Amino acid sequence: MRHCLAGIAAACFLAASASEAKSDPSSAPAVSPTTETLDHVLLQAKSARGTLRAEARATLEAWDFRDGEISGTETDLDAGDEYRYDRTYARLHSASGRYKGRSWHQGYSGYTVIEGGIHDRDDRNVAALAEASDGVTHGVALIGEAASPEAFVVKVAPPGGRVEYRFYDKKTFLLVRRERAVYDQRVVTTFEDFRTADGVTRPWHFRVSDGRQYNDEDWTLKSYSANESVDDARLQIPPDARNPVAMPAERVKLPIKIIGDRIIITAEMGGHKVNFQLDSGASGILLDRSVADALKIETFGKSTEATAGVYVAGHAIIPLMTFNGIKVTNVEAETALFQTWADEQTPIAGLLGFDFIAGCVVAIDYESGTAEAIDVERFTPPVGAIELPIQLDDDVPILEARVGEAKGEHFILDTGADRSMLFSDFVAAHPKDTKDQGLGDAITASSPFVSHIWGVGGKIRFHPVQASSLGVGSLSFPRWLFYATEDDGRSFEGEDFDGLLGQDLLRNFTVYLDYHRSRVYLLPNARYRLRWG
């Protein structure tokens, strides 16, 4: 099974506060010395697992699971390197797979996204284990024996992978426990009820916990079969299941106002007006829980999420949202406590991200303070615009950027971020290129108590850094000011990202977000021409 965590921070606001200590999710478990060898443990584990009979081309598993308060089902079809997993969670359906070397996922709202392979930490761990079985042990080591469960403990931490501890039962050599560092949490999976079929011994029950309320999962295998043939059509990448965004015309002016470069869009919902921030850094739609209750929108399920801080979230299906005749129907949203103000007259009750933006082309004209939704099938890129390819692995636009001489392939284009940001791993990897050119130190000296940014769920520490330059596509900007996050903001940063490109960059352009073709277009405006020619 492959389960993916996604979710990117959105609107950011400055604050002054003290930092909080966090435990290390990659610390080693308690073990005692062992006289056993890594080679023997891995050899015995491989033998205990077994090998699928040669004539079986595919396996089909049907699982029941409980995720916090909600029960669901998942069907897993595996055919060698190709697979498709379908999950039904309450009234929501999602799918993911790999076909002919291309990975994809289809979210609850029906869009199919071809992934670019940004997140490969787990694949690197799998490869490292396979190499260790053949005697190449880079990042793999037997660290000792655990008392509970009684098991040999193997640490897997290859370059570019994640820290993982695997517990192999001392008697059977079956994998009975796994502890992994994911974001800033330790995720523990326990396996049991092992049964053998078609040459392979597998667990028919497992539990997953990250230690947070509402996040425990319980999985039970209800049926299993191995087949000599597989219908290739079942594995092929599917088209969009639907587009929840219905356009009344080729181009529709959106009801927005831009306040301090924040794009506030007003939706009609249940006869009421609700303000959202249009946020390309949000991997879905977020609605304040009190607004959902007031509009009598049914919510279900709970989970504990972490972005800038830890918060409790739920699910909802919004039956209808309208924007100047545009209808968005039966779209999935996350609900949580989210209350902020763009100015004294403009409360914001949520974030409008991927599930709206992906249904059309969104054009944002920062200079005139207007925005349009354009039909995806009839959109033509504007003449003179800079075309930037993006990846949408996490349902946010990810692109390449340059900071000084350093290249980062995974910057998020984020209309919800006030200021472009550098994440802690990128700063640590490129100290020369992220060395402050003077302005960052001057800002810190003048405002020494402003050290945090507020985001969804809480706050993170940062410090201002002026880099020698910022480059995006064919564009280059000298002496660019960033906010650099500290390494206690892992949940905010996510995994494998280099930073954010925010409103400080985007306001110099008319921005076209074309998720349908995996493209962003930047058309320079008068502000750009006045400053850079």
CATH number of the domain residue 72 falls in: 2.50.20.10
Domain end point (choices 345, 378, 411): 378
Burial of residue 161 (CB within 10 Å: 0-12, 13-18, 19+) is buried
7: its two tokens: 């979710």
Cα→Cα distances 521→99, 373, 386, Å: 29, 14, 5
pLDDT of residue 458: 63
**What DSSP state is assigned to residue 377?**
G
3-state secondary structure of 307: coil
20 pLDDT more than 50? no
pLDDT band at 12; cut points 50, 70, 90: very low
450 pLDDT more than 80? no
- How far does the chain reach from its first CA to its final CA, in angstroms? 52
Cα→Cα distances 104→35, 116, 170, 281, Å: 44, 9, 38, 20
Domain end point (choices 334, 362, 378): 378
> Domain range spanning residue 323?
245-378
Q: Are 226 and 255 members of one domain?
A: no
pLDDT, tens digit, for every residue of 37-87?
A: 999 999 999 999 999 999 999 999 999 999 998 899 999 999 999 999 999
519: its two tokens: 């493209």
3-state secondary structure of 42: helix
In DSSP terms, 175 is beta-bridged to 168
Decide if 32 is inside a domain.
Answer: yes
In this prediction, residues 158-180 reach a mean pLDDT of 97
Q: Are 265 and 365 members of one domain?
A: yes
What is the model's pTM?
A: 0.92
Q: Are 439 and 374 members of one domain?
A: no
Q: List CB contacts of 193: < 8 A, sequence separation 6 or more.
A: 203, 204, 205
Domain end point (choices 320, 345, 378): 378
Q: Are 342 and 481 members of one domain?
A: no
Q: Are 100 and 222 members of one domain?
A: yes
Q: Are 370 and 394 members of one domain?
A: no
Which one, of 405, 373, 400, lies nearest residue 389 by Cα?
400
Neighbour tally for 240: CB within 10 Å? 15
Neighbour tally for 200: CB within 10 Å? 16
Decide if 5 is inside a domain.
Answer: no
How many whole angstroms separate alpha carbon 500 and alpha carbon 413?
6
Q: Are 226 and 292 members of one domain?
A: no
CA-CA-CA-CA dihedral for 134, 136, 139, 143, to nearest 10:
70
pLDDT, tens digit, for every residue of 504-518?
A: 999 999 999 999 999
Per cent of the chain over pLDDT 70 is 93
Q: Are 301 and 157 members of one domain?
A: no
Q: Are 143 and 255 members of one domain?
A: no
In this prediction, residues 295-321 reach a mean pLDDT of 88
308 pLDDT more than 90? no
In DSSP terms, 521 is beta-bridged to 387, 512
pLDDT, tens digit, for every residue of 354-397?
A: 999 999 999 999 999 999 999 999 999 999 999 999 999 999 99
4 pLDDT more than 80? no
**What DSSP state is assigned to residue 76?**
E
CATH number of the domain residue 354 falls in: 2.40.70.10
| Long-range residue pairs from 474-477, CB within 8 A, at least 24 positions apart, any chain | 474/386, 475/386, 475/522, 476/402, 477/505, 477/532
Query: What phi and psi, each to the nearest 5 degrees, are found at residue 506?
Result: -70, -30
Q: How many domains does the chain have?
A: 3
Decide if 222 is inside a domain.
Answer: yes
